[in-house]
Amino acid sequence: MGGRAIVVGGGLHGTSTGLHLAQKGLDVLVIEKNSVGRHASGVNAGGVRQLRRHPAEIPLSVAAMDRWLDLDAFLGPDLAAMCEFTGHVGQVAVAETDADMAELVAREAELRALGWAHEELLDQAELRKVAPALAQHCIGGLISRRDGYANPYRTSQAFRLKAQRDGVRFQEGTRVLDLAKLGEGWRVETSAGSFESDVVVNCGGAWGWQIAGMAGEVLPRGHFAASMMVSARVRKFLDPVVIGTGRKLSFKQADNGSVIIGGGILGIPDLDAETADPVAERLVESARTVFDLFPIMRTATIVRCWAGLEALMPDQIPVIGPSRVVSNLWHAFGYSGHGFQLSPIVGSLLADLIVDGKSPLPLEAFRADRFNEDPSAAHPGVAS
């Protein structure tokens, strides 16, 4: 194809889309209002997870996992190392009660019926083998063995450097102010002047609705702030990532020994200041959950917390695909707190869709026109 593309948003999805379009011969400019990886891409908990995904995401997640497990091929060895990815340690959903276990059993059956075998049930003995530090009362689990974790900010930079090697230009500190049709293409007005393009891709994350709005398209504007706590180093006691079933928890121990605790504890978002704050009172529940599940953490010390801004869609899955109201505008945003692992693949699928007219994996479930009759209603997603 040749032709120009402008990607709005320098997070992982914008960068991934940019590099895949460049690999197909387009001239690509990524416009980022802060710095690459500043928001969700750089401040998530770093889980590289197939486990417990929405069924529509599963084909994408499995294909993404293939890429994570061969990052050398995707990024080149030096940039692959930059991501600090650890794979094949597994992510485990833990069952504390019979109700939890029943939920996991149902889940495994659901996936098997859909033809997926990557989520395996664990009985208590097997759980103990995989995560011996879990409390005695845990009765079983569901594991996805290929899963792991990476360093989100370093991964964002690795993707950017790869994109730059492939010829993608980045314009940071530049805010998109308006999108205007110019024939079949676009004039993108920014705080640093205007740019013309044949194609615009909206990877605006928590601000994706704003970018869509500039083109006259109403898409859901929900967002939330996920908060995380990190402990001082503890002698290595856990290999897989553990997620809660009956209660909110995402728990991993990094290779350097620090423990990263997340799982949906909400912070306070500030979309205007483009930042978010953790809330001490809301960490209480998380701290108690950690103690219940990992007795070794009773002498742990929390060194830092942060909160990151994430988009939130009404059905908690992203918008991926063409604009429904105007030509040559594409969307890939709204990952609702679980876009990190999908980043190597969505950019590739979107580039295939844009250039070749079709994606090798089904994207129907993510179409932009799936929302309510009244598309101007904001999702009652959390404001604070």
Partner 1 sequence: MSRMSCDLAIIGGGPSGMAAAVQGAALGLDTILLDEQPAPGGQIYRGIEAVQRARADDLRILGEDYEEGAGLVAAFRDSGAAYEPGSVVWQAVEDGRIGISHGGAARILIAQRILIATGAMERPVPIPGWTLPGVMAAGAAQTLLKANGMVPDTPVVVVGAGPLLYLVATQLARAGVTIAAVLLTGPDIGMSDALKVPGALRAGRTLLKGLAWRNELRGMGVPMIHGVSQPVIEGKAQAEAVSYTVGGTRHRVPAGLVLLHNGIIPNTQLSLGARCKQAWDPGQHCWRPETNEWGATNHARIAVAGDGAGILGARAAACLGRMAALDAAVRLGKLDPAQRDRMASADRAQLATQQSLRGVLDRLFPPAGELLVPIGPEDVVCRCEEVTVAELLDAVAQGCTEANRVKAFTRCGMGPCQGRVCGPIAAEVIARALGQGADRSGQFRVRLPVRPVPLAELAELQS
Partner 2 sequence: MFRRLHELSATVTVFLDDAPLCVAAGETVAAALLIAGVPVFHAAPRYGSPRGPHCMIGNCYDCLVEIDGMPYRQACLTIVADGMRIHRMTEHEASS
Q: Give me the residues that bind partner 2 (CB under 8 A), please.
A: 232-236, 255-257, 299, 301
Region label for 262, one of left (φ > 0), alpha (ψ between -120 and 50) or beta (otherwise): beta
The answer to the question of residue 168 lying near partner 1 (CB under 8 A) is no
Tokens coding 242: 């553990």
Query: SS3 for 25?
Result: coil
Report the nearest approach of partner 2 to the CB of residue 292 (Å): 19
**224 lies in the site for partner 1, by CB under 8 A:** no
Evaluate whether 101 touches 95 at the Cβ level (below 8 Å): yes
Decide which of partner 2, partner 1, none touches 257; Cβ closer than 5 to 8 Å per partner kind. Answer: partner 2
- Tell me which of partner 1, partner 2, none is bound by residue 255, counting a contact when its beta carbon lies within the kind-specific cut-off of 5 to 8 angstroms: partner 2
One residue of 1, 102, 106, 303 binding partner 1 per CB under 8 A: 303
**Residue range at the interface with partner 1 (CB under 8 A); choices 68-76, 125-133, 211-219, 296-304:** 296-304
Tell me which stretch binds partner 1 (CB under 8 A): 22-30, 212-220, 298-306, 356-364.
298-306
CA distances (Å), origin 58, targets 217, 334, 342, 362: 28, 16, 10, 10
Helix (H, G, I), strand (E, B) or coil at 8: strand
Nearest approach, Cβ of residue 259 and partner 2 (Å)? 11
Instruction: In whole angstroms, give the CA distance from residue 167 to residue 2.
Output: 13
- Comparison of 84 and 119: residue with beta carbon closer to partner 2: 84
Half-sphere exposure of 140 (CA within 13 A, CB side): 15
Segment interacting with partner 1, rule: CB under 8 A, options 3-11, 139-147, 149-157, 204-212: 149-157
Torsion over CA: 23, 24, 28, 31 (sign): negative
Closest residue by Cα to residue 162 from 36, 318, 340: 36
104 binds, among partner 2, partner 1, none (CB under 5 to 8 A by kind): none
Q: Least separation, in Å, of the C-beta of 46 and partner 2?
A: 17
Cβ 122 to partner 2, closest distance in Å?
A: 24
Least distance to partner 2, CB of residue 239, Å: 11
Contact (Cβ atoms closer than 8 angstroms) between residue 63 and residue 342: no
Closest separation in Å from C-beta 281 to partner 2: 23
Contact stretch for partner 1 (CB under 8 A) within 20-28, 117-125, 185-193, 280-288: 280-288
Minimum gap (Å) between residue 236 Cβ and partner 2: 4
Q: Judging by beta carbons within 10 Å of its beta carbon (0-12, 13-18, 19+), is residue 277 exposed, middle or buried?
A: middle
Cα–Cα distance for residue pair 17/192, rounded to 1 Å: 22
| 278, 152, 59, 326 alpha-carbon torsion, rounded to 10° | 80
Stretch that binds partner 1, among 60-68, 108-116, 277-285, 325-333 (CB under 8 A): 277-285
Judged by CB under 8 A, the number of residues near partner 1 is 36
Q: How far apart are CA 99 and CA 105, in angstroms?
A: 10
Q: Which residues pair with 320 in a beta bridge?
A: 332
Residues that bind partner 1 (CB under 8 A): 35-37, 42, 153-154, 157, 160-161, 229-232, 273, 275, 277-278, 280-281, 283-284, 287-288, 290-291, 297-307
